[in-house]
Amino acid sequence: MFKYFRDSFRRKIARRYTKEYPSLINHYQLEKDGQIDFAEWDNPLATRLGLKQETVDFFRKFIKEGDLVIDIGANIGDTTVPMGLAAGKSGLALGFDPNPYVFKILKENATLNQDKLSIHALPFAISVEEEEFFFISSEASFVNGGISPIKESRHGKFVYPEKIKGIPLMRFLEANYGDWLPKLSFIKVDTEGYDKEILKSISDLIAQYKPVIVAESFEHNSPADKMELFETIAKHGYDIFYFEEFDTTAKVVSIPTKEDITKWHININIYAVPR
């Protein structure tokens, strides 16, 4: 009972007052990949995400050793690390997240397990042009949130004091990772309902390199927005699927038409593979 009240009080404080929460390093013993160290965020509002072999193996269905993989909206690295393990030490995982609080944990995860993977943590939002944004959250501890060109936003009332930078991804990659681009095989996007806009902004990258794409169809988006998300991907010659979770045993359902994606009224994961 005491633990319940203590945890409830910590969550209440985290919603109302901004403070730094440290990381906790956990050690996961995976059946194939051995011990993997993973930094988790000791924020009472943050879910402990953990690591599973089935998650790494899910990404290995699409990623081979030596590939370049990109995680947009990487959070603390709960998908970046498995993606990096799939790409191996000879590959490269780029994790982008503009949230200054979770980025510190993502950056820490990029320093771990360097004998098994290579991760570059990058504190940028992805935008059409290079510009600056406010990062805004509904919670004082910034567990969730999003970017906005103005301080008044649907994301909430808590505004990070310094602006964050948005970059056009294709231009950034050509300038900084040009030698890696031919190895691009996989892009994951999870940006609190803005996945469609992100994918539209990297249309040239998708058209040229045809990576496997993972995105989220956001429950609060309109049917028209969900169908536009489908079309934004499908127009490049992709087959699109619903999948239950990042796990090799998860349920997978084909989404053959744009109308079919509107049948779900919850947040759903989708992946898309080029034909």
Residue with tokens 């193996």: 57
pLDDT surpasses 80 at 262: yes
What is the distance between the alpha carbons of residues 146 and 177, in angstroms, rounded to a whole number? 26
pLDDT, residue 252, reads: 97
pLDDT, residue 178, reads: 98
What is the distance between the alpha carbons of residues 6 and 110, in angstroms, rounded to a whole number? 32
Which residues have a Cβ under 8 Å from the Cβ of 50 and sit 6 or more positions away? 26, 28, 38, 40, 78
53-57, 136-140, 173-177, 203-207: the lowest-pLDDT one: 136-140
pLDDT surpasses 90 at 43: no
What is the distance between the alpha carbons of residues 275 and 262, in angstroms, rounded to a whole number? 23
Nearest to 84 by CA among 96, 97, 95: 95
Q: Tens digits of per-residue pLDDT, 11-36?
A: 766 667 677 888 999 999 999 999 99
Q: pTM for this one?
A: 0.93
The residue with greater pLDDT, 45 or 38, is 38
Q: How many CA atoms lie within 13 A of 8 on its CB side?
A: 5
Q: Work out the average pLDDT over 211-236.
A: 96
Q: Tens digits of per-residue pLDDT, 80-92?
A: 999 999 999 999 9
The residue with greater pLDDT, 198 or 7, is 198
What is the distance between the alpha carbons of residues 191 and 204, in angstroms, rounded to a whole number? 19
**Strand pairing category for 164-167 and 131-137:** antiparallel
Does 10-274 carry CATH code 3.40.50.150? Answer: yes
User: What are the CA-CA distances from residue 239 to residues 170, 246, 271 (Å)?
Assistant: 23, 18, 8
pLDDT, residue 13, reads: 64
What is the distance between the alpha carbons of residues 87 and 83, in angstroms, rounded to a whole number? 6
Q: Work out the average pLDDT over 162-166.
A: 92
Nearest to 122 by CA among 156, 172, 159: 172
Nearest to 30 by CA among 61, 57, 5: 57
Contact 103, 123 (CB under 8 A): yes
Domain regions of the chain by residue span: 10-274
3-state class (DSSP) for residue 245 = coil
